[in-house]
Amino acid sequence: MGTSLGTVVVTGAAGRIGSVVRVGLRGDAQRLVLVDRVGLAAQSPAEEVRRFDLRDAEAVTAALEGADAVVHLGGVPDEAPLPDLLEGNVLGTHNVLEGARRQGVRRVVLASSNRLTGFYPVSTTVTAEMPPRPDGLYGVSKVAVEALGRLYADKFGLSVVCLRIGSFEDAPADRRHLATWLSPRDCLGFVRAALTASDVDFAAVYAVSANTRRFWDLAAGSALGYTPVDDAEAFASRIPAEGDAAGHDPQGGAFAGAEYTLHHL
């Protein structure tokens, strides 16, 4: 994509990750189109804001006109009733991919999730090639998101990168985060790499900081061009020692518990 990212569309731009990406890409993109269903105000001449719901396929396609890339962060961010997840995550992602196909967008970056594999035990180092084991309905929706990305890469030639985002926090807040933390600095590093990596047809990458206790392999991220720098271990002394997981416990922790999903059924 050259030294400039050109025109980049960011969906879910008002969210926690979207806000970090917006600021981080402001100096790299010639034009930033910021999409959310809540109101935003442009903060620089390079920014353009669009307010609509991602279920509006025609609005999505219109927003992607002239774009070089899209970072798709919009959707339902946690466990919810399956119909809501299908509309917010699966249909919304389909609209983004179809809009990208129709407008000739060169790179699509999809926000996936570590919870796509949350039922693997903590004793297992998981790679992106291993089969999904979602820890809930939210994880199931992200399996579908990645499947759509793979379909559009294989069938229509889109270049698609799925970032399996870890626990995005300013600092780790609980014991699980010592393995799953994604710092804002590393998050932006993974997004930049996903936008600029060359010769990518389809890639799924765990976006997680370089945590000593991490569950996930970093090789795919290195191949994409980014090696994380932060480590949650620097915060370990601030987090109570109670609650360390046993080797057979699921990586999803409380997210994998039955009660976390039952009240959405």
More confident of the two residues 48 and 3? 48
Q: With respect to residue 228, please indicate whether it lies within any of the assigned structural domains.
A: yes
Give the whole-angstrom CA distance, residue 48 versus residue 215.
Answer: 38
Q: With respect to residue 52, please indicate whether it lies within any of the assigned structural domains.
A: yes
Q: Is there a contact between 139 and 181 (Cβ–Cβ < 8 Å)?
A: no
Out of 138, 152, 226, 260, pick the active-site residue.
138
Q: Is there a contact between 59 and 76 (Cβ–Cβ < 8 Å)?
A: no
Q: Is there a contact between 243 and 215 (Cβ–Cβ < 8 Å)?
A: no
Q: With respect to residue 1, please indicate whether it lies within any of the assigned structural domains.
A: no
Total domain count, the chain: 1
Q: With respect to residue 246, please indicate whether it lies within any of the assigned structural domains.
A: yes
Residues 156-196: tens digit of each pLDDT: 999 999 999 999 999 999 999 999 999 999 999 999 999 99
Q: With respect to residue 2, please indicate whether it lies within any of the assigned structural domains.
A: no
Give the whole-angstrom CA distance, residue 227 versus residue 206.
Answer: 11
| CATH code (residue 54) | 3.40.50.720
Q: Which string of DSSP letters, residue by residue, matches 69-82?
A: EEEE--S--S---H
Q: What is the mean pLDDT of the chain?
A: 96
Helix intervals (H) in the chain:
16-25, 57-63, 82-85, 92-103, 137-156, 177-180, 184-196, 219-224, 258-262
Tell me the average pLDDT across 121-135. 97
pLDDT at 243 over 70: no
Which pTM does this prediction carry?
A: 0.96
pLDDT value for 256: 98
Residues 8-24: tens digit of each pLDDT: 999 999 999 999 999 99
Which domain range does residue 186 map to? Answer: 7-262
| pLDDT over 90, % of the chain | 95
Q: With respect to residue 144, please indicate whether it lies within any of the assigned structural domains.
A: yes
Is 138 among the catalytic positions?
Answer: yes
pLDDT class for 246, splitting at 50, 70, 90?
Answer: confident
Residue type, 186: D
Structure tokens of 164?
């399996």
